[in-house]
A and B are shown apart, each in its own frame.
Chain A
């Protein structure tokens, strides 16, 4: 069974906050749910499917179902880190296609900034019973930044990728973020600004890293017969895929990501190819994340990502592949340290023609959203969706 054409994204909402000192975690989940349902023209009582991941307080979906007063007949709390919500869109479509629900709500929220979390630079465990990998990794001090940095280091060694090429990714994001009033970082930066910012973990600089922000977002995925009754522009799901890439028992290869598999599968299901895509939301925890995923999704050959992203090729109106036109995680928002949901949101805005006029892609009828969750250098969950304006 394919999910092609079986589900639509009818509602989206991104919380405007980037610092949520005065909001509770559950409250942010509920506020974004309300926002997305209002955007769709639906009510809480229409929701019969609920999807969340590890950022939701409580055991799986249960506490948030109770807090929001939902009565779902289908739930899913699959957690693949920041890519979870891209995966949830695919799972929601599967549930809708098989008749398990008709209105699926996906929420994300977090407040790492308010809590003063050192997201990228301090090694941490998940607590509880150690994972089987933990004794063989944690004592060596793996952080978010240094594990992604090892991917960049190997990419540079094998393909000659440079820090200046990676910097172009941040430059493009900053060009977009200047138009987003909610973006945390709105100043346009240059390649020189990025490569002269302090090295956090070689070869990644501070400006190669995404922001740390509070906030959240929500998505409402509905059955075709529901979408037909709503007034919003229709955004149809054409393809979805997920994959877990690991160290493969010691045969780890840091030069590619799980996007190699999710991209191929999602494009095949959608019946389109990378050159058809008008807009791309690409997970941007770090500049290297974007570069590797662009290669793996098939936008350029493996090893050619450095050249592909250079000279403004990702800037809307200038380049061939406009990406992350909200400023992305690199400049605008990375709520709960999980950036997958906001990737879907900007893709939907572009397809609806509701992105900021300065970054709106003309005739944007086909878009991709891709997420990477966990650690690119240790083990990660990849998820891709391909969306079409109907």
Chain B
């Protein structure tokens, strides 16, 4: 089933802690939060590292490359859509959507690349499409 109709996306709620993430999204960049103490990147982004609780965390720009860890096509929706966990090249897995593709051909561990989709009055959302 090809994705033909457009789905209206709600705007994400931006907080002071994640303002930079959404500002970058507006410029077409995906940021990942990385800890300078333990060296690990995490998602969703926090000021305090969820692994070692250090406050020495920083933004890095993601390459936009990833693979599908798992996905599901929500058939019982006004416009069917594919929700997924994508494993970023930088390490963390993120909840996202797979878009602009034939949902019936999606595969677990398939390579995907970053795209952005506009929301209803907010910053755009990072999503993925087959690479």
A residues neighboring B (CB under 8 Å): 121, 130, 132-143, 145-147, 149-151, 153-154, 157, 198-204, 247-252, 254, 378
Contact = CB atoms under 8 A, between A and B. Distances in A.
Contact of B74 (A137, A198, A201, A254): A201
A118 B99 CA distance: 25
Contacts of A154: 69-70, 108
A203 B91 CA distance: 26
B109 interface: yes
A140 B69 contact: no
Contacts of B9: 139
Nearest to B80: A201
B72 A201 contact: yes
B94 interface: yes
Contacts of A249: 40, 42-43, 46, 49-51, 92
A143 B12 CA distance: 16
A184 B9 CA distance: 36
Given A121-B76, A139-B11, A151 B83 contact: no
B44 A132 contact: yes
Contact of A141 (B42, B50, B81, B119): B81
B124 to A, nearest CB: 10
**Smallest CB-CB A-B distances: 7 pairs:** A250-B92, A135-B12, A149-B72, A249-B50, A249-B42, A136-B44, A250-B43
B18 interface: yes
B35 to A, nearest CB: 10
A150 B83 contact: yes
A107 B44 CA distance: 35
Contacts of A137: 95
A131 B14 CA distance: 11
Contact of B73 (A132, A140, A201): A201
A121 B74 contact: yes
B97 A140 contact: yes
A150 B71 contact: yes
A346 B108 CA distance: 38
Contact of B125 (A121, A140, A198, A199): A140
B4 interface: no
Contacts of B18: 135
Given A250-B41, A250-B43, A250-B92, A198 B12 contact: no
B39 interface: no
Interface string B74-96: 11110001011100100111111
B13 interface: yes
A139 B119 contact: yes
B92 A141 contact: no
20 contacts: A132-B15, A132-B17, A134-B13, A135-B13, A136-B12, A138-B10, A139-B9, A139-B11, A140-B83, A153-B71, A157-B70, A200-B75, A201-B75, A202-B71, A202-B72, A204-B72, A250-B88, A250-B91, A252-B85, A254-B85
A360 to B, nearest CB: 37
Contact of A251 (B71, B92, B109): B92
A150 B74 CA distance: 11
Given A140-B125, A157-B70, 9 more contacts: A135-B12, A135-B18, A135-B22, A145-B74, A154-B108, A157-B108, A202-B72, A250-B92, A254-B70
A300 B74 CA distance: 31
Contacts of B125: 139-140
B15 A135 contact: yes
Nearest to A121: B76
Contacts of A138: 10, 12
